[in-house]
Structure 1
Amino acid sequence: MKNFLAKIICVSLISFYFLNIESVKSIVPYYYFPTIKNLEKESLSIGKSAYQLLYFGQYKDSLNLAKLAVKLNAKNEKLWLILSEAQIANKLYKNALYSLNKAQKLNSNISEIYFAKSNIYLKIEQKKDAKIALETGLNIDPNNHKAIFQLGNIFLMEKNYLEAIKLFERTVKIKPNFWQAINNKGLAYFEENKINLSIKHFEKAISIEENAEPLLGLASCLRMKDMKLALKFAKKALNKDPNYVNYDYRKEQLWGEKLQVSTEILLQNNQLQTDVILAKTKINASS
């Protein structure tokens, strides 16, 4: 009996031991250690999601995801570019320049890095650096019409109208229907006192896109030739975009002083006062 009990106890203890092992196994967590390749793949997926959030205007969420993507894979220049775009959207310009410098160290042959840098430099009013960045990017991608256009805009800001016109012409040769470049040629020609050429380019821009800017630019040109037609175009422009009633807004769109003076005279016309007041009311309501 004693031996029998001893055997029973022994079997029970062994069973208890193995059962406990199984129960311990059941509560011990299972850890998965991803490979570098898997992490890199995941970082690209997160980077893509960050870019999509940026597109839909969710800037803070985009920034957080872009930061995570870079932490997972700091050797991918595309992820640094996405992070820089998210930082620009959040107005973190110094951080964005840091990210773009990181991307440049990884691959200095990507034109978008320099174009993005120029965008930041313009925002922080460093035109000289913006110009250098654009020219560097254009050495890599010489037919990027948007970059050529932006370089033309810098010359427009510097009142170097002839050089600006050359660059806008170069833009239009690459993309004939790029009405913004045609419009800005009109802006430059007006400052050069070439009103007929200014009219021609504003009309051409309108034929592509009936936008408020060339409409009001044309109206300001016609003020000295055909007031009735000038008023018609001015009314249409203010109805399309009331912001153009504002001097500072037009200045942001790179309107020169001569065109500004002509426009201010036009907007003081008695027949436009109802439209001017309505435009200002719309601006105040939206602010």
Structure 2
Amino acid sequence: MKKVLIKILCVSLISYSFFKIDKVKSIVPYYYFPTIKNLQKESLSIGKSAYQLLFFGQYKDSLNLAKLAVKINAKDEKIWLILSEAQVANKLYKDALNSLNKAQKINSNISEIYFAKSNIYLQISQQINAKNALEKGLSIEPNNHKAIFQLGNIFLMEKNYLEAIKLFDKSVKIKPDFWQAINNQGLAYFEKNNIDLAKIFFEKAIAIEDNAEPLLGLASCLKINNIQLAIKLAKKALDKDPKYVNYDFRKEQLWGDKLQTSTEILLQNEQLKKDVILAKSKINASS
């Protein structure tokens, strides 16, 4: 009886022991440890979400998400590029340049890094650095028509009109319907006092895109020889985009001194008085 009792007791203890183990196992939490590959995939997904928020104008939220993506994975240059764009949108230009420098350290053979740097340098009025960055980017991607156009714009700002025209022409050869480059050839030729060629390029730009800028540029070209057509074009331009009534806005669009003077004289025409007043009121209403 004693042996039986001992056996029963042993079995009970063993059973209890197994039961306790199972019970303990049942309350131990399960932890998922993601692999490096999964973390990298997740960081890129977060980065893409940050870029989407940027597209919809949610700049602060985009910045926070981009920072999170970089914290998860600081070894992906694409995420640093997204972060830099979010920083630019929030006017954190120094931070954006730092992010681009980090992207460059990871992979120095990406043209977008240098093109992005050039845009920031232009924002902070560092034209020489902007030019150098563009030239570096173009050494990697020589047929980027937008970068060629931007380099042409820098030469336009420097009043090196001949070089600017060459670059705009090169950009158009790559993308024939790039009306902005065609328009800016008109801006450059006007400053070189070649009004006839300026007129031709403004007309070419309008044939592709009936935009306010070439319309008003063409109007300025025609104000001496065909004032009625010039007035008609100016009215149309101001109706399409009232901001072109503003001298400072036109300057931001790289209009030179000669074209500015010609346009100011045109806009003082009595037949444009109501249109100028209306355009200015629209600007004030939207500000």
Scaled by the length of structure 2, what TM-score is found?
A: 0.93
Q: C-alpha displacement at 1:58, in angstroms?
A: 1.8
Name the counterpart of 1:30: 30
Q: How does 1:13-162 map to 2 (within 5 A)?
A: 21-162=21-162
Equivalenced residue count is: 287
Please say which of residues 260-269 and 62-71 is displaced more in the overlay.
62-71
Please say which of residues 44-53 and 115-124 is displaced more in the overlay.
44-53
Q: SS in structure 2 opposite 1:163?
A: helix
Q: C-alpha displacement at 1:40, in angstroms?
A: 1.1
Q: Unmatched 5+ residue regions in structure 2?
A: none
Q: C-alpha displacement at 1:11, in angstroms?
A: 8.3
Please say which of residues 70-79 and 26-35 is displaced more in the overlay.
26-35
What letter is aligned with 1:274? K
Q: C-alpha displacement at 1:62, in angstroms?
A: 1.6
Q: SS in structure 2 opposite 1:152?
A: helix
Name the counterpart of 1:277: 277
Q: Unmatched 5+ residue regions in structure 1?
A: none
Partner Cα distance (1:260, 1:3) in 2: 114
Partner Cα distance (1:57, 1:16) in 2: 63
What letter is aligned with 2:57? G
Partner Cα distance (1:191, 1:35) in 2: 61
Name the counterpart of 1:173: 173
What letter is aligned with 1:167? L
Aligned CA-pair RMSD: 2.0
Please say which of residues 236-245 and 60-69 is displaced more in the overlay.
60-69
Partner Cα distance (2:47, 2:122) in 1: 26
Partner Cα distance (1:23, 1:60) in 2: 48
Name the counterpart of 1:260: 260
Q: How does 1:217-228 map to 2 (within 5 A)?
A: 217-228=217-228
Scaled by the length of structure 1, what TM-score is found?
A: 0.93
Q: How does 1:179-198 map to 2 (within 5 A)?
A: 179-198=179-198
What letter is aligned with 1:173? K
Please say which of residues 35-44 and 13-22 is displaced more in the overlay.
13-22
Q: How does 1:229-248 map to 2 (within 5 A)?
A: 229-248=229-248
Q: C-alpha displacement at 1:139, in angstroms?
A: 0.5
Q: C-alpha displacement at 1:26, in angstroms?
A: 3.8
Name the counterpart of 1:208: 208
